[in-house]
Each structure stands twice: as structure tokens, then as C-alpha cells.
Amino acid sequence: MNDICLRIHGLNVSYDGHTALKNIYLDIPHRQITAIIGPSGCGKTTLLRSINRLIDLTDGAKIRGEIWLDGHNVMSDREDVTSIRKRIGLISQKPSPLPMSIYDNVAYGPRIHGMRDRKELDKTVRSCLETAGLWTEVKDRLQSPATRLSVGQQQRLCLARSLAVRPEVLLCDEPTSALDPVSSQNIENRLIELKKDYTIVIVTHNIHQAMRLADYVVHLYLGELVEHGPASEVFQRPKQDRTRAYINGTVLTKPRTDVEINLKGKVCPLNFVFAKAALENLEIGQVLKVIVDYPTAITEVPRAMEYDGHKVLGVKQLNETDWEVIIQKRE
Amino acid sequence: MQRRKTEEAVFKGLMIASVSIVAAGLLTIVAVIAWKGVPALSIGMITQTPKGGFYLGKEGGILNAIVGSLYLAGGATLLALVISLLVALFLQREYIGKSRWAGVVRLSLDVLWGVPSIVYGAFGFVIMVYLGMRASLLGGIIVLTLLEIPIMARALDEVLRAVPRELKDASYALGTTRLETSLNVVTRQVLPGILTAVLLAFGRGIGDAASVLFTAGYTDRIPTSLLDPVASLPLAIFFQLGTPFPEVQARGYASAVVLLVIVLLIAVGSRVLSRRLTKYVVK
Ligand SMILES: Nc1ncnc2c1ncn2[C@@H]1O[C@H](COP(=O)(O)OP(=O)(O)OP(=O)(O)O)[C@@H](O)[C@H]1O
Ligand SMILES: [Mg+2]
């Protein structure tokens, strides 16, 4: 086994009484890329923000549990938050350049932590920008405002800025979701290079990105840790159904179906009418399952139902010809 | 469709009317003052202090009041900026949290904003009498500072509240303290807003007569120490307009022109500066 960088022990987080993370026990391996995957709202950002204690700044957040980083409990009140955050960098989803020049953005952290010597600063800025793959693009305009960079460049600037304070761990919260494919690829390549020196934790919605990058995978679902393990195992032989479903791209929902109607053999306008009539008789929140086999119906029935304000929970192929559409009634 | 078009037209009309009222108000004030004051304006007026008999229509100028007003308003604005910035920073979430005190402080500032300046003057006067202080530059600066704090603190509070959360988080994530983030990132982001607040406060400070009437005094000389009494433009205007001599009254209007020009220069200057400062601001 690889050695452990971060050990998360019984982490619970809630916002104003609403639980966001339940009893997370997790070891994050040293100098590897750990990908956190899971549907929206499952607590990925919350987990990252807990690890470097940015969560302290969120109103109403309550945290219980321990997170160990070589012998220090990050969560302990006795630890100095600023030194924890210096050791554990965070790159957010939306690039957030600071209101200063490109140079000052990178030099900001080192300056705060006491680097004054101009030559040393120059060297740090340069090497961090090089590592982030931005140096050649900006070396002639270091004094221009960081906001003038393109979004992809801004994200690499944020990477450089994080590296400048020499962290041990880099947390990346969907670092490429605001970027085009080429810029994303660029960031991905950086991360792969960086893992020889840093422990990297990346949150991603993109399962392919996780497959490309991850050595270790963590699957969260509704605040619970569903599965975690080496990437090869989790991706090829997921132990949990929910993980398998997520990886296959269909979120597994097992909605209780209240009414099922069979519309096989009915052509297009008719199957709408029947489906609508069936929904009329349901209470709000109840679920209708419709079986269709008419090819257009497979796309058009869900679309029409969503247009009426109902929620389509899933569309699944049952066999050669038949499909099921699961609809939840809304107001 | 037709109704919505009419609505649009009506509101456009109303907006144009409102803007015209504001513009017309400003123009008339400037026109009247310029018409009455410009003929009496001369180089001597702004380069000399009053000679004997100035208020009877003889030689002299209002340099004492110009310098005095700049000292008073400049000193007060500087002091008010330091205090208000600290107050406004403290009112933000990361310091005061969700505490009800933030609301209480904001309400107090709003009430103080509405207090007439003569009350500040009287209040300052009472305190100064109690302390055995005489009317002086220092007294004037202190009372003007008090007068400027509410307007400045609230203006700063509003701009600080608009600073995006992610910006502060980005700074905190590098291991900075609240103070470091506030001073290096937040204030930089709101520099244009700070400038506006300074301008508002300076405008109120330099134009106010009532609060300096008792606390700063009046003199024909330029003060050489903080404890000397000091003249100010609004009072100079007031005294000159109060004389029965038309030529002195005309100088009163000329002094008003000077005051107007100072305010205008500062407004334009801060606009230009603001454009420079927005260069780095994250939108
Ligand atoms: N500041 C907050 N106040 C209250 N609830 C919050 C707050 N931040 C997050 N939550 C809630 O906590 C849960 C987890 O949120 P989190 O942001 O960690 O999800 P996520 O997995 O990062 O989602 P996404 O993929 O959409 O970014 C959600 O139900 C969310 O509504
Ligand atoms: Mg998130």
C-alpha cells in the first residue's frame, strides 16, 4: 500500500441542521491523484472545504470529526488555520484572480508568508508560472491585470498562485468545468506532472476525466461515502450498485412507482394524452411509469411531460423495442 | 404588445424628466453663482488673506478660508477614512458574523447620517467647553470627522458587502488572515468605491458651515498649529453675504465659485483616478 497523506476520520458536516456529510472515513494516498465523484449536491465541495478549513467561514456550518495531516488534526482548534491552509491549497471551480497584476497574484502568497527579496520573488513567480504552463504566454505582460487573461489562463494562474506558497496537498474543485476542452486538457496535463510532488484531490463531474487522471477514486452519494479504492478496481469492478450506475452514466434511482401504464402500440399524440390523463389522477410527488415502444415517443413523451412541469426521473431501455419512462408529478 | 410599448415610452419620459430636473437644478445654481460671483473674482482674492477693512470692501482675499477649508475637510476626511474603513470592515460577516450588532451599528450610522450638522457643532462645542479647549483647527477636524463618519462608513459598508465571496476565499485558501485579506485583497477590489465614499464625505465636510461655526472659529490668518482657530469657506461666504455692502456680497458669491470649483476639481480628479484604479478590479 502507498502511504497515507490525509486521514479523514468520522467527518460529519451539517448546514443549519441539514446534513451534508455523514460519517466519512477515508484515507487519501500520498502523492497520487484522488478523484471525488458523485452527483451534484452530494457534498464534494463540502468535503474539500472541510479539508482546508475554508468551511469555517461558512455561516451555519457545523463540523465534527478529525482530519489528520501528518500528525496534526486539521480540525483541532489548537491548529493554526492559516498554516493549514498554506499546506493545503484549494483551486476553485470558477477561476478567481485577485484584483492585482499577474505577477502580484502569484507573489501574493509568498509575500504574505514573509518573502521580501525581489530576486527570490521573481524566481518563485517564474517557476510557478512555468509549472502551471503559463509562463510563455504571460512573460511579457506580468504587470497587466490578471482579469485580462482568458478564463483558461486564469485557472492556470490560480494553479500557479496556489503552488507559490509551497503546499503539500492541492485540492481542486471541478477545476476544468468552466474551461474549453483544450484548456481542460492543459490543466489535466499539469496535474499529472504535479502528482510527483503533490498530493492532489480533484472533484469532477466528468467521469472520463476521473478515469484519465485518478489513481484513487472516492464516490460520494447524498453525503455518504459509497465506495472508495484504487481507480482500476473502482472503475472496472465497482462493488456497489450505485457506483456502477454512476459510472455507467445513469444515476440509479429506485423510485417507488405508484402507477404503471402500458402504452405499447399507441402512436404519438395518443400516448401523450394517456400519460397526461394518468398523471391527472396522481397526487403531487407520486410516480408514474409508462412503457412505450413507438420510437418518437421515447424522446417526445419525456419532453412533453417536462414541458408540463413534471419531472422525468429516468428513461431506460427494457428490451429490443420497449422503453420505460418514469415521471414524477409536480404542480 | 401595444400596452407594453406605451409603458416603456411613459417610463422613458419620466426618467428623462427626472434627469432634467437634476441637471437643471445644478445648472441654475452654477449659473446664478457664476453670474453674481465671477465679476468679483480676481487673482488677489485667492492669493491674499483679508487685509484690514476687507469686510468693508477694501483690499484682500479669502486665502485664509480656502486653506482653512482644505485643512479642515482634508484632515477630517483622512481621519474619517481610517475610522470608517475599520468600522465597515468590522461590520462584514467574517468579523461580526451574523450578530445582531451589525444591524444595530448600521441603524445608528443611518440615524447619525440624518442628524443636522448644527447638532454636531453644538455637541462638539459643549465637549470642547467641558475640556477647556478653544475653537481650533483640531476641534473643527474632530467635529467634521464625526460628521463624515456615518456617510463614509455606510458607503464603504455597501461596497464591501458587494465583494464576491470567492475572491475572499481565494485569498484565505493561501493561508492568509482576515486582516491580510481585508487589507490586501478586499480594499484593493473596492478602491473605486472607497474613492466615491471619500468624495461624498469630503463634499459634505468642505461644504458644512454649521458644525465648524463654534468648533473651528474664524480668523483672518492662516493657522500655523492645530490649536489655532481657522477660517472656512462656507463661513466666509456667510459673513460676506451678511454685510450690507454690495461689493462684499459679490465677493461672497465669488467665494462660492471658489468652493464650487474645489469640489468640482476633486470630483473630476477622483473620476480620473477611479478609472485608473478599476484596472485591476475583478468584475
Ligand atoms: N453554504 C451552505 N449553506 C447551506 N447549505 C449548503 C451550503 N453549501 C452547501 N450546502 C448544501 O450541502 C449539500 C452539499 O453541497 P456541496 O456544495 O458540497 O455539493 P457538491 O457535491 O459540491 O455539488 P456540485 O457538484 O453541484 O458542486 C447540498 O445539499 C447543498 O445544498
Ligand atoms: Mg461543488
pLDDT band at residue B175 using 50, 70 and 90 as cut-offs? very high
Instruction: Give the domain CATH number at B69.
Output: 1.10.3720.10
CA pair distance A257, A278, nearest whole angstrom: 13
Q: Above 70 in pLDDT, residue B56?
A: yes
Asked if the structure places residue B29 within a domain, the reply is no
- Per-residue model confidence as pLDDT tens digits over B1-16: 788 899 999 999 999 9
Comparing B190 with A308, which gets the higher pLDDT?
B190
- Per-residue model confidence as pLDDT tens digits over B31-46: 999 999 999 888 988 8
Identify the pLDDT of residue A149.
95
Over residues A208-222, mean pLDDT: 92
* Lowest pLDDT segment from A120-124, A206-210, A223-227: A206-210
Q: Whose CA is nearest to atom 4 of ligand 1?
A: A15
Instruction: Please indicate whether, in this complex, the C-beta atoms of B169 and A92 are within 8 angstroms of each other.
Output: yes
Number of domains in chain B: 1
Asked if the structure places residue B105 within a domain, the reply is yes
Q: Above 70 in pLDDT, residue A125?
A: yes
CA pair distance A28, A35, nearest whole angstrom: 10
Q: Above 50 in pLDDT, residue A252?
A: no
Q: For each of the domains in chain A, give its residue range(s) and CATH number, in order of start.
A: 4-245 (3.40.50.300), 259-328 (3.30.110.40)
Most informative mutation of A36, A42, A94 for ligand 1 (most atoms within 8 A of CB): A42
Identify the pLDDT of residue B59.
81
pLDDT band at residue A251 using 50, 70 and 90 as cut-offs? very low
Identify the pLDDT of residue A254.
55
Asked if the structure places residue B56 within a domain, the reply is yes
CA triple B98-B101-B106, angle to 5 deg:
105
Please name the member of B164, B174, B281 whose beta carbon is closest to the beta carbon of A109: B174
Asked if the structure places residue B111 within a domain, the reply is yes
Q: Which of B98, B174, B182, B194 to mutate to test the interface with A (most CBs of A within 10 A)?
A: B174
Give A61-115 as a DSSP string.
Answer: EEEEEEEEETTEETT-TTS-HHHHHHHEEEE-SS----SSBHHHHHHHHHHHTT-
Beta bridge partners, A225, equal A220
Q: Above 90 in pLDDT, residue A177?
A: no
Q: Above 60 in pLDDT, residue B246?
A: yes
* Lowest pLDDT segment from A269-273, B111-115, B146-150, B178-182: A269-273
Identify the pLDDT of residue B84.
96
Over residues B205-225, mean pLDDT: 91
Mean pLDDT of chain A: 89
Identify the pLDDT of residue A2.
54
Q: Is the CB of A58 under 6 A from ligand 1?
A: yes
Whether residue A45 lies within 8 A of chain B, CB to CB, comes out as no
Identify the pLDDT of residue B57.
77
Chain A, chain B: beta-carbon pairs less than 8 Å apart: 84
- Per-residue model confidence as pLDDT tens digits over A273-320: 888 888 888 888 788 888 888 777 777 787 788 778 887 777 777 777
The range of the structural domain enclosing residue B161 comes to 41-280
Over residues A194-217, mean pLDDT: 92
Asked if the structure places residue B15 within a domain, the reply is no
Whether residue B78 lies within 8 A of chain A, CB to CB, comes out as no
Over residues A73-86, mean pLDDT: 92
Asked if the structure places residue B17 within a domain, the reply is no
* Lowest pLDDT segment from A146-160, A243-257, A311-325: A243-257
Helix, strand, coil percent values for chain A (each to nearest 5): 35, 30, 35
- Asked if residue A202 lies in contact with residue A190, where contact means CB atoms within 8 angstroms, the answer is no
Over residues B216-243, mean pLDDT: 92
CA pair distance A157, A138, nearest whole angstrom: 10
Asked if the structure places residue B228 within a domain, the reply is yes
Q: B246-277 and B63-90 are packed helices; what angle lies between their axes, rounded to 10 degrees?
A: 40
Whether residue A85 lies within 8 A of chain B, CB to CB, comes out as yes
Identify the pLDDT of residue A255.
60
Over residues A147-152, mean pLDDT: 92
Whether residue A331 lies within 8 A of chain B, CB to CB, comes out as no
Identify the pLDDT of residue A1.
45
